[in-house]
Chains A and B, each alone.
Chain A
């Protein structure tokens, strides 16, 4: 089973979530990245992490992400972000330590987006998450 240590490089994107900010699919939040490294590489694995192992639990928050390329073609569409969780203690980890494997070339992170299904807001305790892209 591949794990993160087999990849040479990783780009970590940090997202600041506004507390109690509801949104839905009609108003997705675009990733804002000043670094276009992902557009030049092929991402091989993706992992989600919160702020400090053991201190976050997404529960069943309906959080979805879509990554697109420069042509705005969706590479992965409405992917449950919790499926990226490798933290074994989270109630919806992918069994723990199973890094999800991908072959995603040239992700345009600025045109990619995430959203929470309608009617669900964020509590004040979760305001940062990281996505690790291994390539």
Chain B
């Protein structure tokens, strides 16, 4: 199975804040990813990493299932409500989901909380972007 060759990668944290159903949390501006082409994305849960680089608590694996992500290219929502669990490598036999060279408008892209059953306030979801 084809897997990506990482040329550059950047780990981004999205803090859920006070959780609520249908709450949308936009990605922050990341200068390193501005204008770059994204071709692979991973998420991680507390099962893999007990703390984020900033010392925050990641969501659980069950929590990933309660979160979706929408990625915007320009003004188009090209990846719409993708379950974040589908990007979690350990949950998909170690594979990294590949994308077709998307120039993401990251600040218009967002995570949506679909259920608050398994996520807690101020947990973070981490995305590892493979880019060039």
Q: What residues on B are CB-neighbors of A61 within 8 Å?
A: 49-50
Contacts of A78 in B (CB 8 A): 10-11, 53
Q: Is B26 an interface residue (CB 8 A)?
A: no
With beta carbons under 8 angstroms apart, the residue of A60, A74, A96, A117 that contacts B47 is A60
B7 touches A60 (CB 8 A): no
**B5 A103 Cβ-Cβ under 8 A:** yes
Query: How far does the alpha carbon of A1 sit from the alpha carbon of B44 in the complex, in Å?
Result: 23
- CB <8 Å contact, A100 and B6: yes
Q: Are B89 and A95 interface neighbours, CB within 8 A?
A: yes
- How many whole Å from B7's CB to the nearest CB in chain A? 5
Q: How many angstroms from the CA of A98 to the CA of B11 in the assembled complex?
A: 20
Interface residues on B, range: 20 to 34
Tell me whether B9 is interfacial, beta carbon within 8 Å: yes
Q: Is the CB of A77 within 8 A of B55?
A: no
Q: Interface size of A by Cβ–Cβ distance < 8 Å?
A: 36
Contact residue among B6, B53, B93 (Cβ-Cβ distance under 8 Å from A117): B53
Given contacts A94-B89, A94-B90, contact A76 B9 (CB under 8 A): yes
Query: Are A103 and B7 closer than 8 Å at their CB atoms?
Result: yes
Residues of B contacting A25 in the complex (Cβ-Cβ under 8 angstroms): 53-55
Select the stretch in A33-41, A79-87, A124-132 that faces chain B: A79-87
A49 lies within 8 A of chain B by Cβ = no
For chain A residues 10-64, which have a beta carbon within 8 Å of chain B?
24-25, 44, 59-64
A92 neighbours in B (Cβ, 8 Å): 47-49, 90
Decide yes or no whether B51 CB sits under 8 A from chain A: yes
Q: Chain B, 60-89, contact with A by CB distance < 8 Å: what is the 0/1 string?
A: 000000000000000000000000000001
Closest to B11 in A: A78
A61 to B53: give the CA distance in the assembly, Å. 11
CA of A114 to CA of B26 in the docked complex: distance in angstroms?
28
Which among A75, A76, A95 is the interface contact of B95 at CB below 8 angstroms? A95
Q: Which of B12-42 contact A (CB under 8 A)?
A: 32, 42
Q: Which listed residue, B6, B8, B11, B90, touches A101 by the CB 8 Å rule?
A: B6
B interface, CB within 8 angstroms of A: 1, 3-11, 32, 42, 44, 46-55, 89-90, 92-95, 128
Nearest first, the 10 closest Cβ-Cβ pairs linking A and B are: A95-B94, A117-B51, A94-B94, A78-B11, A62-B51, A118-B55, A95-B93, A76-B9, A60-B50, A101-B5
